[in-house]
């Protein structure tokens, strides 16, 4: 334990925590997106998939156990990610008490400079999102436990909500463009040989997530796939 607290006590240690929790969340997003895309396979398939998630490992550990472990793991990652970043931001603020009169950046990318803003937006989004689809009735859309397809079709069928989601997915994309590559850089996995590849990979994965996540709300909003009867 002593080792870990000492490690976490340094800026580099904190960066490691941010990187590792970040990649955990990114991994979750990929699974989430694949699950979402089942909407295109129809209501039955999607609802069955939702049930299946609750049943993973049921025979051995009992109903929803694995799901809850995953959920707790995810919550821990989110909390650790945010908490650590707050500490780092505080450290960084303290490190530059007097600001420059002429403030310019030269090579840092737009996503990199936006990390704090995009992160904050995502935090708000996550709260909205969970309130809406996990805990139910919110934004006055009809909600029924277990009827996933129906729930989302009501939510995305019309109005501004699907476009809010698309915008938020764009923020996810921006956050990950820098975040995914940063994971490799922070852990010292990146090097000049694979820098282009890893930078590219980060952008491709971010774009795939953006497209994949946006596809479902756009499809409902435009009527490409139907609203559940």
Partner 1 sequence: MNFILSIWRQASPEAKGKMVKYKMSNVSEETSLLEMLDMLNEKLTLKDEEPVAFDSDCREGICGSCSLVVNGRAHGPGKLTTSCQVFMRSFTDGQTIHLEPYRSAALPVIKDLVVDRTSLDRIIQSGGYISAHSGPKPEPNSVPIGYDELEESMDAAACIGCGACAAACPNGSAMLFTAAKIGHLGLLPQGQPERSSRAKAMVQQMDDEGFGACTNYAECQDACPKGISIKFIGRMNKDFAKAMLCDELDPRGSMDAN
Q: Please name the residue that has the structure tokens 């340094």.
A: 10
Which 8-state DSSP code applies to residue 38?
Answer: G
Contact footprint for partner 1 (CB under 8 A): 2-4, 6-7, 9-16, 88, 91-92, 94-108, 112-113, 115, 178, 181-182, 185-192, 195
State which residue, 134 or 191, has the beta carbon closest to partner 1: 191
Give the count of beta carbons closer than 10 Å to the beta carbon of residue 53: 15
State which residue, 122 or 221, has the beta carbon closest to partner 1: 122
Minimum CB separation from partner 1 for residue 186, in Å?
6
CA–CA separation, 65 and 168 (whole Å)? 30
Residue 195: strand, helix, or coil: helix
Minimum CB separation from partner 1 for residue 6, in Å?
6
Minimum CB separation from partner 1 for residue 73, in Å?
20
CA–CA separation, 203 and 23 (whole Å)? 14
State which residue, 84 or 132, has the beta carbon closest to partner 1: 84
CA–CA separation, 185 and 179 (whole Å)? 10
Are 225 and 219 contacting, i.e. CB atoms less than 8 angstroms apart? yes
CA–CA separation, 72 and 30 (whole Å)? 18
Minimum CB separation from partner 1 for residue 106, in Å?
5
Minimum CB separation from partner 1 for residue 5, in Å?
10
CA–CA separation, 128 and 114 (whole Å)? 21
CA–CA separation, 25 and 77 (whole Å)? 7
State which residue, 111 or 162, has the beta carbon closest to partner 1: 111
Element (H, E) at 111: helix 110-113
State which residue, 87 or 218, has the beta carbon closest to partner 1: 87
Minimum CB separation from partner 1 for residue 88, in Å?
5
Exposed / middle / buried, residue 58 (Cβ in 10 Å: 0-12, 13-18, 19+): middle
State which residue, 99 or 229, has the beta carbon closest to partner 1: 99
């Amino acid at each position: 334990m002593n080792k870990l607290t000492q490690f976490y006590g340094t800026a580099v240690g904190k960066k490691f925590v941010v990187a590792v929790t970040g990649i955990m969340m990114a991994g979750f997003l990929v699974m989430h997106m694949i699950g979402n895309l089942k909407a295109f396979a129809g209501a039955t398939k999607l609802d069955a998939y939702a049930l299946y998630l609750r049943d993973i490992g049921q025979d051995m550990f009992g109903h929803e156990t694995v799901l809850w472990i995953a959920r707790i793991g995810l919550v821990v990652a989110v909390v650790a990610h945010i908490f650590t970043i707050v500490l780092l931001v505080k450290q960084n603020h303290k490190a530059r008490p007097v600001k420059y009169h002429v403030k310019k950046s030269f090579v840092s990318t737009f996503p990199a400079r936006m990390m704090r803003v995009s992160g904050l937006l995502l935090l708000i989004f996550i709260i909205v999102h969970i309130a809406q689809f996990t805990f139910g009735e919110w934004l006055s859309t009809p909600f029924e436990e277990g009827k996933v397809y129906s729930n989302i079709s009501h939510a995305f069928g019309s109005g501004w909500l699907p476009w809010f989601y698309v915008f938020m997915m764009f923020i996810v994309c921006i956050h990950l463009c820098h975040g995914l590559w940063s994971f490799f850089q922070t852990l010292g996995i990146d090097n000049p040989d694979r820098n282009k590849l890893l930078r590219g990979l980060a952008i491709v994965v971010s774009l795939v997530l953006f497209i994949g996540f946006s596809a479902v709300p756009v499809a409902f909003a435009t009527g490409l796939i139907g609203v559940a009867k």
